[in-house]
Amino acid sequence: MTIFFRNLVQNNVKIILTRNSDSQLFTVSYRNLSILPSVYDGKEDPAPKFFSSNVQVLLRRLTRPDFAKVFRKRTNSGRDVLKTPSYKFLTDEELEAEIAKANKRADRLLQMPPIVKIHQPINEILSEDPALIGYDNVKYLFTDITFGVANAHRIIVERDPDGILRSSDHDIRKRLNQTYFPIKGRKLREPIMFTDKDRLNSLLESEKYEFVLDRACIQYEPDEPSYQKITSITYQHIDMNKNYDMLRSTRHFGPMAFYITWHQSIDNLMLELLQTSAVREAVLLTALRHEIHGDLANGEQVQALVHQILPTPIQLSKPDRLTEEDIELDNKCVECIEKYIVGNSAMKSQQELALQGFREYYQQMIELSRGLKKAHGNA
């Protein structure tokens, strides 16, 4: 047995063991991807936390929306001709109005797919009539197609060959809703990229995360187990390969951040933030953790800091000059992160190293901007 296991280890180039919140081990081998999906099926419902305004604000800010990416050209599907951009001269007021419009459109594009608990099966028997046994040897499905009823509230019942009239289960409901009220882009049969593990795997290996997540959003309802399985596999793949940047400025970053925070595995993301010297976002991430789990020692301090960070503009790239307020805020952030690393991190040495690197870089930046100020003579 041990020999077999050793062989297994040698065969797979790399085996990473990561600790999950449910103290369940999942193995990842690079030869053939085997991530165990985890769905929101525990006792606790993630929806109230996900929809709370504090968490929404944090997730939106962590998305780091860059309008150049939010409004990038995608495919021309559904459009015959791509529109050529138009250039206009605008007054200040008109420009402000246009920017407000663009912000609204970005909000729409960045609307996060909801995170909810998986649904319970429907087992509602409406009537039993043994005298109907033998009426037919197939099921009858009855759909109420009354105008203006939402898909979720539509009456769909089935009469089984044994005479029982019952409410249909979710898969049948979904199929019939799609039959009578088709949703554009959703297929009646599950696309093969979701059913075939190898194909999903190859998509993930070629880093087509957004395509997978977008399509999963159309194909499934957010409370379906298959949706949550596919998204969880994708999120874990992103987390392992640190491809966070591919999801930034898309609507999927928030749910991913929520997912990894919910499952207590934010260390990789935290390390990435520290390495790219985004300390403010690192503080926001700790605040997110505190909102969801409430397990930080310096929780109140973090929350106070979040209120200072949120009004500041989003840093899409490293700033080339620092004001005194910036320096003060960033120093507070560094202190906060230090406490977090000591108290709650599972990747202490690496994160401390990254933080130390940031400190050195930041010291240089401070000296540079103070020197520049002095040289300009307004110190």
Asked if 135 interacts with other proteins (CB under 8 A), we say yes
The least distance separating other proteins from the CB of residue 176, rounded to whole angstroms, comes to 7
Asked if 147 interacts with other proteins (CB under 8 A), we say yes
The least distance separating other proteins from the CB of residue 196, rounded to whole angstroms, comes to 20
Asked if 127 interacts with other proteins (CB under 8 A), we say yes
The least distance separating other proteins from the CB of residue 129, rounded to whole angstroms, comes to 6
> How far, in Å, are 121, 159, 228, 303, 365 from residue 280 at the CA level?
43, 58, 30, 12, 16
Cβ contact 312:343 at 8 Å: no
- Applying CB under 8 A, among 63, 143, 236, 298 the residue interacting with other proteins is 143
- In the DSSP assignment, the letter for residue 18 is E
Candidate ranges 139-147, 190-198, 214-222, 245-253; the one touching other proteins (CB under 8 A): 139-147
The least distance separating other proteins from the CB of residue 141, rounded to whole angstroms, comes to 5
Widest pairwise Cα distance in the chain: 98
Asked if 323 interacts with other proteins (CB under 8 A), we say no
How many residues in the chain? 379
The least distance separating other proteins from the CB of residue 125, rounded to whole angstroms, comes to 11
**CA separation for the pair 326, 312 (Å, rounded):** 9
Q: Looking at residues 161 to 200 of the shown chain, list those that interact with other proteins (rule: CB under 8 A).
A: 163, 165, 176, 179-180
Strand pairing category for 156-159 and 15-19: unpaired
Candidate ranges 39-47, 83-91, 137-145, 355-363; the one touching other proteins (CB under 8 A): 137-145
In the Cβ-directed half-sphere of 173, how many Cα atoms lie within 13 Å? 20
Q: What angle do CA 325, 100, 312 make, to 5 degrees?
A: 10
Asked if 129 interacts with other proteins (CB under 8 A), we say yes
The least distance separating other proteins from the CB of residue 195, rounded to whole angstroms, comes to 16
The least distance separating other proteins from the CB of residue 230, rounded to whole angstroms, comes to 23
Candidate ranges 26-34, 131-139, 195-203, 370-378; the one touching other proteins (CB under 8 A): 131-139
- Applying CB under 8 A, among 16, 155, 183, 342 the residue interacting with other proteins is 155
Question: Which are the contacts of 149, defined by CB distance < 8 A and separation ≥ 6?
Answer: none
The least distance separating other proteins from the CB of residue 142, rounded to whole angstroms, comes to 4
**CA separation for the pair 282, 293 (Å, rounded):** 16
The least distance separating other proteins from the CB of residue 130, rounded to whole angstroms, comes to 10
Asked if 141 interacts with other proteins (CB under 8 A), we say yes
- Applying CB under 8 A, among 16, 97, 145, 183 the residue interacting with other proteins is 145
DSSP 304-316: HHHHHHTTSPP-S
- Applying CB under 8 A, among 30, 51, 142, 211 the residue interacting with other proteins is 142
Which of 137, 131, 139 lies closest to 166, judged by CA?
A: 139
- In the DSSP assignment, the letter for residue 132 is G
Candidate ranges 34-42, 63-71, 143-151, 221-229; the one touching other proteins (CB under 8 A): 143-151
Cβ contact 249:66 at 8 Å: yes
Asked if 21 interacts with other proteins (CB under 8 A), we say no
By CB neighbour count within 10 A (0-12 exposed, 13-18 middle, 19+ buried), where does 279 fall?
A: buried
**CA separation for the pair 72, 182 (Å, rounded):** 28
Which residues would be at the binding site for other proteins (CB under 8 A)? 126-127, 129, 131-136, 138-147, 155, 157-159, 163, 165, 176, 179-180
